[in-house]
Every structure is written in C-alpha cells, then in structure tokens.
A = this chain, B = another copy of it.
Amino acid sequence: MADAVEPILVVGSVALDTVHTPSETASDVLGGGASYFCLAGAMFAPIRLVAVVGEDFPPAHRALLQSRGVDLTGLEVRNGKTFRWTARYSGVRLEERETLDTQLNVFADFHPVLPPASRSSRVVFLSNIQPELQLEVIDQVEQASFVACDTIKLWLDTARSGLEQVFKRVDCVLVNDEEAVQFTGQRFLPAAARAILSYGPRMVIIKRGENGSLLFTADRVFLAPAHPLETVRDPTGAGDAFAGGLLGAVARAGHDGEDILRRGMLYGSVLGSLAVEDFSVRRIMQADRGEIEARLSTLVDMISLDGSRAT
C-alpha cells in the first residue's frame, strides 16, 4: 500500500462472538463491528483502531489484526472480560437473527480516547456503538473530512435524540432499510432518505442485504448490487465489511467525489459478500486484491448497459 493513502480511524466494538446456524456453531471467534471494518478496510488503506478489550482477548486475534497492519495503539486493554455476543441465525438464507446473549463486560464503561496521532484522522468510521460515544469521537477529530456512522435498531429505540445529534455532525449515514423506515416513519426509501438527509449529512446509504445498497446524495441515487451469492455461512459483519470497502475507496482516492462514492459502494458490496461466506473474518482474510477486483468486475458488469462484456 502506498504511504500516501489516508489512514482510516475506526471506533467501535471488538468482541468474542458465538454464532449458531442450523448446521454449525463457531465459538469465541473474533467479532464486533470494528474488527470486520478493520480487516475489510485494511485491503485498501492503513487502519487505526480505537476500541476496548479485556485481559482475556486472545493474542491470536490481536496478531491477526496486526498481520494486516492495523494500528492497535488505541486498543485499550482493561481489567475484566471482552465484550461477548451470542446469536442464532435461521431461515432459508440465514436471514433471521436472534440475539441469545450479550455481555458488555469491559465495553460497558468504554469511552473512546483517541491517541494523539489519531486525532488528525481525516477519514473516520463510527461503528454501531452508542450515539453518545460516537459524539465523543466526533469531538476529537476536528480535521476530519469524511465521517461515516452506522447504527443499530437498539439506538433508534433508546437513544433517538443522541442519534439525531450524530446525524447532524457526520458526512455519511449508513442504515439498513428497516431502520430507515422505522426512524423516519416514511414507508418508502426515497422519502426516508430525504428525511435523514434533512438532519444534515451529505449522503445516506440504505443497506438492503442481498438486495443491494442505495446511495442517496442531494439529487442523485445509486444502486450497488449485492454480489450474487452462492452460499451464506454466517451473515455477521456484512454491514461493517461493506463500510470498510466504501471508506477504503474514499481513503485511497483522497476525496469523496460522486465517482469515488459509487465505485466505493461496489467495493463495499464485494467486502460484504466475502464477510458472509464464512464465520468471523475468515473469508475476508483469505481474499487478495485480485479476488476483490474480480468480484468488482462482476458487479460492474451487472450494471453495465454495454451489450459486450465490459471486463
């Protein structure tokens, strides 16, 4: 990776996940939104992680993040246990999720404190932690030019006003389609997107899983197809991996022009598709730039109006 590529700061959760599917179980695997983001984004740009883990966080997980050059200066290790999350997926394509257990552990008292070098970060991803913590990060990155936030249904229900503050102060909001409808009370996505844009962000990305993702800017809409999947082994982390691809493209380009955002949406789809093909971050770790570019070509061809194959 060229030294010139803008580093990306990510703040979010690092967890130990236990995931059940109808046929398999993975126990205490590396999870948490920030972990997926780190390893997806590291395919494109240097990553700085700010998060917290307990003393039980396995050295192998730490080594895995370091193997991709993730800067762990901001990874606090506290007395106590790492955040643990247990869930079960079901349904024909594992589209139903039930959270069986959440143990916040050291994450319960987490307040992100950015290492001095990270405070000058220009590209920032706020993974789906509490809106109050997202605001604490925003207060610390005064030179940021592209701040994106993700959220989850829980904060729509319990921290709406905090979320509204976050939306006012970021450049890009990522939500899924159900969350967008719930948050805005608008049944149709264009109206829901406009309602979120009215808080202040320059763009809203509405994620629809296997149905692709929509990028709404002030006066344009882009549809990024999902990569045509042949299998899903563990849906966890697709959204954060998507964000890693998108912000990776922005960091690599050094700007967020519409052309970069649209291509970045496709990189997001590619990384999201990799995330779900195996448990934890395994499949992302297996991919190289060649495979990523090959999947990108498939997506480009899926939206090409050229009768002759573009790639």
Contact = CB atoms under 8 A, between A and B. Distances in A.
Contacts of A221: 228, 298, 301-302
Interface in A189-215: 189-191, 208, 211-212
A187 interface: yes
Contact of A302 (B93, B187, B222, B231): B222
A303 to B, nearest CB: 4
A309 interface: yes
A172 to B, nearest CB: 16
A24 interface: no
Nearest to A262: B305
Interface size class of A (residues with CB under 8 A): 35 or more
A191 B308 CA distance: 23
A23 B223 CA distance: 31
A289 interface: no
B92 A190 contact: no
Contacts of A222: 302-304
A270 to B, nearest CB: 14
Contact of A305 (B232, B298, B300): B300
Interface in A210-230: 211-212, 220-223, 225, 228-230
Interface of A: 92-93, 181, 187-191, 208, 211-212, 220-223, 225, 228-232, 257-260, 262-263, 266, 298, 300-309
